[in-house]
Amino acid sequence: MLRPLLENLIDYAGLFPPSALPMPQALANYERYRQSPEAWMLARFVAPVSRLDEMEAALAGPAPLVSALIGADLETDLARIARAHVPIDTIELKASNATQIDSAVRLIPPRLTAYFEVTDVSLIPVIQAAGARAKIRTGGVTPDAFPSSQFIARFIETCARHNTPFKATAGLHHPLRCYRPLTYSAGGPSGWMYGFLNLFTAAALARKGISPIEPVLLEERFDDHGLTGEDFAAARLGFAISFGSCSFEEPVADLRELGLL
């Protein structure tokens, strides 16, 4: 039943903290994951546009499908994407107001799907009207980087209400809510992390109009809440798209340990 929930779920972001791997190692990892029995869970390779030159120079095998992070200069980055020798079909950029979203959408070519990372849920209808997608940051390398469960629930429910697809990023290495180290450094901070099974189950419930979903984000065991494989498949198709993780191995190992793979 979980395969529809997990299929193509993880965008590999090994270049980013806390892993922050060198480009050749991140690319080699992605290729290894692509050949693994769990390859069906793997989605795109996430890379900043500013590192596309480095990426193209480091490629030693087939190019991954890339989701490109836009920097401060959208026009310059779009011009670089147009010259890319790797396949790029999605871009990710931040926005703090409606004007930024509207201005950006006018520049983005139709072949690129745009995700706007926002912290103001009132911008979600603007994103939907622009034909784009939303993005939520669900954690980081310090406890204060994790938004409240109330905010995450409100974000997901607003996306569901306005038929706006979304992705999540950061702090979702583990399937279920847990208290873990937030970095791979000895003596680094620890904190409560959200689970990707919790988040995407909550999204499937929100898509069906079931509420409240906030308690689901706080569960420390997996509960399907009566959802079927068809419910999960419907939620993933055009709504709860994926999440970015600097680790692919941790989610897979945890799912195995829970007996869910």
Q: What pLDDT sits at residue 117?
A: 98
Specify the pLDDT at position 60.
Answer: 85
State the residue range of the domain holding 165: 3-257
CATH number, position 171:
3.20.20
pLDDT digits (tens, 9 = 90+) for 64-78: 999 999 999 999 999
Looking at residue 3, what is its pLDDT?
Answer: 93
Tell whether omega for the bond before 212 is within 30 degrees of 0, i.e. cis. Answer: yes
pLDDT of 61: 84
Which distant-in-sequence residues (6+ apart) come within 8 Å of 89 by Cβ? Answer: 44, 65, 66, 67, 111, 112, 113
Q: What is the pLDDT of residue 72?
A: 92
- Residue holding tokens 């995700």? 115
One digit per residue, the tens of pLDDT, for the chain of length 261 reads: 789 999 999 999 999 999 999 999 999 999 999 999 999 999 999 999 999 999 999 998 899 999 999 999 999 999 999 999 999 999 999 999 999 999 999 999 999 999 999 999 999 999 999 999 999 999 999 999 999 999 999 999 999 999 999 999 999 999 999 999 999 888 889 999 999 999 999 999 999 999 999 999 999 999 999 999 999 999 999 999 999 999 999 999 999 999 998
Number of domain units in the chain:
1
> Quick one: pLDDT at residue 106?
96
Do residues 138 and 174 make contact, with C-beta atoms less than 8 angstroms apart? no
Separation between Cα atoms, residue 99 and residue 103, nearest integer Å: 6
Largest CA distance in the chain: 48
Task: For residue 78, give every residue at least 6 positions away whose Cβ sits within 8 Å of its Cβ, in sequence order, or none.
Answer: 70, 107, 108, 109
> Which amino acid is residue 140, in one-letter code?
G
